[in-house]
């Protein structure tokens, strides 16, 4: 395996860049990598083992909880508890914080926000799904972690990343020094550096939005969608519409090929559907670190105050020029 750099080796190499790092963040990232391999094994077997379908329960979001949501949630929580580098977890699948109080974790420096299985509606139809994580340094001094440790702006993230369980399984993350992608090589069970220093093209030809909600979009979003569909060779329009229905897969595609993903306010989701803490903030940190842009149509996502754990926001994320163009329409047509 000449020239293969595994995730673990890369994390250790890069740790030298952090003058005062004592390895906690490195170990935390490696704990996440381990959980990702375990979840990947189950995702790849979905259909053979009893993890398809719903559990018959709904989560705090009022959404059907799929068996794989529960499995992934348990695996990541277990790996983070065992690793000892995290003193608390906020998960999409848990209404309240998971406070980790055992001896080795209670004074840990970091907290983790988690969407253990993103794109749940795609599990049973064998379409790419993902996991999203966001890591903050705790702001509380010691003892049990508090809500304030999680209600920090996205700009305070220490690290963020996602795993996309697709045609291959990739882990992509940033600690604020660029974005790097690793592809899982099942033959050696390691994530190997495959996409060093990922940069999103400044413009693209793909727009990604659930046009089924068109009627309830605001005028600015409607006008931008009409702009995407207009014929104009000079600006590569009409764009192509690609919508997978898994945030991780849609954003990952745009990160590589260029494009814009929009989940705006709709009638059913007046403040947008996607959650700031474990979907919008981590994906926005990654997009910005890759040279892209992420706003709610008006404000930088990473600057928005986090007031509630499962707070939602509209999101416009992807190639910088495309997000700026969409914002022009939002501004022009905002009543």
Using CB under 6 A, list all residues that contact ligand AHG: 63, 92, 115, 118-121, 210, 245-247, 263, 273
Give how far Cα 330 sits from Cα of 20, 39, 130, 219, 335, Å.
43, 39, 30, 8, 9
Sole binder of Mn ion in the list 24, 31, 85, 92 (CB under 5 A):
92
In the complex, what is the shortest distance from the CB of residue 295 to ligand AHG, in angstroms, rounded to a whole number? 17
Q: How far is the CB of 122 from ligand AHG (least distance, A)?
A: 8
Near Mn ion by CB under 5 A: residue from 24, 31, 85, 118: 118
User: Among residues 86 and 132, whose Cβ is nearest to ligand AHG?
Assistant: 132
Nearer to ligand AHG, 10 or 162 (CB): 162
Residue 246 binding result from Mn ion, ligand AHG, none, given CB thresholds of 5 to 8 Å by partner type: ligand AHG
Contact 109, 115 (CB under 8 A): no
Q: Which is nearer to ligand AHG, 178 or 245 (CB)?
A: 245
SS (H, E, C) 27-40: HHHHHHHHHHHHHH
Residue 273 binding result from ligand AHG, Mn ion, none, given CB thresholds of 5 to 8 Å by partner type: ligand AHG
| 250 is an interface residue for Mn ion by CB under 5 A | no
Nearest of 293, 273, 275 to residue 284 by alpha carbon? 293
Choosing among ligand AHG, Mn ion, none, which partner's interface includes residue 245 (Cβ < 5 to 8 Å by kind)? ligand AHG
Which residue, among 92, 28, 13, has the nearest Cα to 58 in the 3D structure? 92
The string of DSSP codes covering 211-240 is: GGGGGGS-HHHHHHHHHHHS-BGGGTBSPE
CB of 252 to ligand AHG, least distance (A): 11
- Partner whose binding site includes residue 240, from ligand AHG, Mn ion, none (CB under 5 to 8 Å by kind): none
Which residue lies nearer to ligand AHG by CB, 43 or 108? Answer: 43
* Closest to Mn ion by CB, 115 or 190: 115
Minimum CB distance to Mn ion, residue 141 (Å): 32
Residues 206 and 108: their CA atoms lie apart, in Å, by 42
Residue spans of alpha helices (H) in the chain: 7-15, 24-45, 67-83, 219-229, 247-257, 281-289, 320-333
CA distance 156 to 145: 16
């Amino acid at each position: 395996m000449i020239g293969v750099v595994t995730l673990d080796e890369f994390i250790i190499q890069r740790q030298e860049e952090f003058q005062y790092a004592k390895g906690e963040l490195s170990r935390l990232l490696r704990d996440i990598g381990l959980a990702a391999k375990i979840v990947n094994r189950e995702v790849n077997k979905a259909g053979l083992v009893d993890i398809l379908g719903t559990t018959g329960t709904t989560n705090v979001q009022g959404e059907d909880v799929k068996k794989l949501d529960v499995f992934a949630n348990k695996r990541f929580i277990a790996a983070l508890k065992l690793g000892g580098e995290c003193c608390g977890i906020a998960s999409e699948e848990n209404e309240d914080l998971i406070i980790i109080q055992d001896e080795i974790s209670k004074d840990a420096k970091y907290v983790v926000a988690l969407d253990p299985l993103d794109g749940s509606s795609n599990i049973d139809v064998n379409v790419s799904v993902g996991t999203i994580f966001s890591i903050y340094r705790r702001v509380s001094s010691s003892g049990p972690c508090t809500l304030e440790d999680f209600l920090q702006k996205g700009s305070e993230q220490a690290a963020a990343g996602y795993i996309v369980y697709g045609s291959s399984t990739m882990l992509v993350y940033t600690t604020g020094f660029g974005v790097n992608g690793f592809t899982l090589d099942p033959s050696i069970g390691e994530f190997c550096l495959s996409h060093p220093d990922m940069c999103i093209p400044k413009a693209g030809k793909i727009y990604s939005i659930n046009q089924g909600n068109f009627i309830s979009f605001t005028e600015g979003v409607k006008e931008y969608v009409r702009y995407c569909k207009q014929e104009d060779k000079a600006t590569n329009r009409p764009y192509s519409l690609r919508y997978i229905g898994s945030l991780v897969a849609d954003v990952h595609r745009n990160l590589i090929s260029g494009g814009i993903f929009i989940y705006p306010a709709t009638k059913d989701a007046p403040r947008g559907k996607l959650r700031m803490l474990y979907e919008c903030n981590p994906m926005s940190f990654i997009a910005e670190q890759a040279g892209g842009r992420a706003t709610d149509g008006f404000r930088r996502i990473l600057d928005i105050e986090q007031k509630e754990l499962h707070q939602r926001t509209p999101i416009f994320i992807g190639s910088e020029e495309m997000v700026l163009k969409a914002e022009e329409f939002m501004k022009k047509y905002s009543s």
